[in-house]
Amino acid sequence: MTSRRVFIKSASALSAAVFVKGPLTAFKTPPVIGLQLYTVRDSMGKDPLGTLKKVAQVGYNSVESATYTGSEKFYGMDAATFKKVLADNGLKPNSGHYRLGEETDHGAAVNGTLLHDWQRAVDDAAAVGLKYMVCAYLSEPERGNLDHYKQLADIFNKAGETCKKSGMQFCYHNHNFEFAAQDGIFPYDVLLEKSDKDLVKMELDLYWVKKAGQDPLVMFQKHPGRFPLWHVKDMSKAADQAFAEVGSGIIDFKTIFQHKAQSGMKYFFVEQDKCPGSPFDSIAESYKYIKANLV
């Protein structure tokens, strides 16, 4: 039987070892590094369970889903099943992408969108454990003039109210078309100014902001705390400005990440719409750079 003296000596040695390594480093929580699953969409369509396992093996511990629209399922899974699969792989479902729903599918309304059966989408998102629900994209017919963007701001407010009642935050994800000025005004500014700053936050896609010739630091200064989510993907140094692995292109992520508190950033997700080879090679390269340089 271990004596009291031996026990105290062993405990003291353990405490000393932890101290030598630095304050709490032995128990430090790993940084949250997320992946937008659109990056591995083809693989998710064929083998979602195997794909999520590979994503976790790379090191990612947070994901943003992308396919609820239409089926009202997550990659063919109901909310409970999807939640379990993510948990089994140590992946936190921090956010999910959704569509507006003005577009029809062969004349029929598409459910699981902001305009059609949104409450069901919110209920399922809450069941999975999502913290954010994001309007991912506006198709060309859904954009329109500045008056239409004002109407969209109202739609976003209502969607945000529904999310808030279930403990989630609504966001809008940009591309670059929102920065094509109409009468000297950016549609993106209309969305920011006409929507409720508490009900409607923004998921800032840093690639598309760069593509549009905008400066995220200026946006953070003008609208502090409005950008709790980021999409992190680089822009190639080549003339075509193609999507690139994080750290391999021209975007100054180190400086941008220094302003994450001002922006209100809570989570970020690697997203690479197109990859030169295997998406798993690309997400591994991005992960390594982020872990070594940004978190």
Residue 28 lies in a domain: no
Per-residue pLDDT, 4: 45
Counting as low any pLDDT under 70, the low residues of the chain are: 1-27
Residue 25 lies in a domain: no
Residue 41 lies in a domain: no
Residue 14 lies in a domain: no
Per-residue pLDDT, 23: 52
CATH no. for residue 87?
Answer: 3.20.20.150
pTM metric for this prediction: 0.91
Residue 64 lies in a domain: yes
Per-residue pLDDT, 139: 96
Per-residue pLDDT, 11: 45
Per-residue pLDDT, 6: 42
CA separation, residue 231 to residues 38, 78, 155, 162, 173 (Å): 12, 26, 23, 24, 9
Residue 189 lies in a domain: yes
* Dihedral pair phi/psi, residue 136, rounded to 5°: -85, -30
Residue 224 lies in a domain: yes
* Cβ atoms of residues 200 and 153 within 8 Å: yes
What domain range is 78 assigned to?
54-232+261-270
Domain count within the chain = 1
Give 73's contacts (C-beta < 8 A, 6+ positions apart).
82
| Rounded-to-5 percentages of helix, strand, coil across the chain | 45, 15, 35
d(CA 290, CA 295): 6
* Cβ atoms of residues 31 and 295 within 8 Å: yes
Per-residue pLDDT, 28: 80
d(CA 83, CA 209): 32
Residue 277 lies in a domain: no
What is the DSSP pairing of strand 200-205 with strand 229-232?
A: parallel
